Amino acid sequence: MPLSVLVTGANGFVGRAVSRALLERGDTVFGLVRQPRSTMPGVREWLHTSADFDAIDADWPAGFRCDAVIHLAARVHMMNETAADPLAVYRATNVEGALRVARAARRAGASRFVFVSSIKAVAESSTTRAIAEQDPAAPSDPYGISKREAELALIAFGRESGMEIVIVRPPLVYGPGVRANFLQLMRAVANGVPLPLGAIAARRSLVFVDNLADALVHCIAHPRAAGQTFHVTDGRDLSVAELARALATPLHVPARLWPVPVSLLRLAGRLTGRSPQIDRLIGELRVDSTHICEVLGWYPPHTVEHGLLETAAWYRSTH
């Protein structure tokens, strides 16, 4: 049955994919954004300029009601943080902002709130096995801490209000329009830059943006999603060396990978003050996403190969 869905951050990298998936399903999509005329065609835009969603009740359109919310808007992980108190800034947007949206949507009739969290709410790395939903959460940076606190706050609000809360924790999301580290890697591969990645065997989970969007659509529509926490991945983990080689093929370039020992990469990180970046590059972060398959019968509709092909095609057409 078609639903009326509010998508916060509807003009973002993931938001546009989610909006497209909802529209294709026949849902009515309202996009809560900070910039006008920036969403997918067919999305009904609602402009709200505050990153922390303060005064959202005053901005709430008269008579507007929705069935569900997909909350994507967030202060994302910052590589070069400049705030004097980063955790306070993350909390203002990611915790208090999410709660403000949930409260306002509940008053407007929404029965379900899908919160897009992050695997960083649980951990930065995995050890002997992939991270599962029931594993103890031990976030290590302000972004991850704020996401975990938002999860707990929303669960408590759901118990108080009767709103169905669904938490989705993706790992690194890629696809057409991707930015940050993934784009830097793709640019380096495309430009033939020799990369010291050939000896890195640790695997990391990824999720193609259209796979994540499809999972989020399931989470607003499936009755068994209520009250659940789901990890969502492509179902196949790659080492960074395998990822670079997989990108090189559709980019029509050779993968120039040097087998530099991991110990030397760690040393280089310490000497250059870039140990956190090196640790993320060489560390393992495998995520178990079988729970959503078992509960909702959801499986990624696109393979890793398809996702990387689409991403490389976008890169070639725009760069």
- The type of residue at 311 is T
Distance between CA atoms of residues 176 and 260, nearest Å: 30
What element of type H or E holds 279?
A: helix 275-282
Tokens representing 66?
């929705």
Cα separation, 114 vs 110, whole angstroms: 11
Burial class from Cβ neighbours inside 10 Å (0-12, 13-18, 19+) for residue 23 reads middle
- Catalytic residue check, 315: no
Structure tokens at 201: 């065997």
Neighbours of 97 (CB within 10 A): 24
In terms of C-beta distances under 8 Å and separation of at least 24 residues, what long-range contacts does 212-215 make, across chains too? 212/14, 212/17, 212/18, 212/168, 212/170, 212/173, 213/14, 213/17, 213/18, 213/20, 213/21, 214/21, 214/298, 214/300, 214/301, 215/168, 215/292, 215/298, 215/300
Helix, strand, or coil (residue 88): helix
- With b for 16 or more beta-carbon neighbours within 10 A and e for fewer, the 259-285 pattern comes to eeebeebeeebeeeeeeeebebbbbbb
Rg, Å, the chain Cα set: 20
Choosing from 143, 174, 299, 315, the catalytic residue is 143
Phi, psi at 50, each rounded to 5°: -85, 130
Tokens representing 246 are: 């997989």
CA-based nearest residue to 208, from 220, 216, 200: 216
Query: Which residues are identified as catalytic?
Result: 143
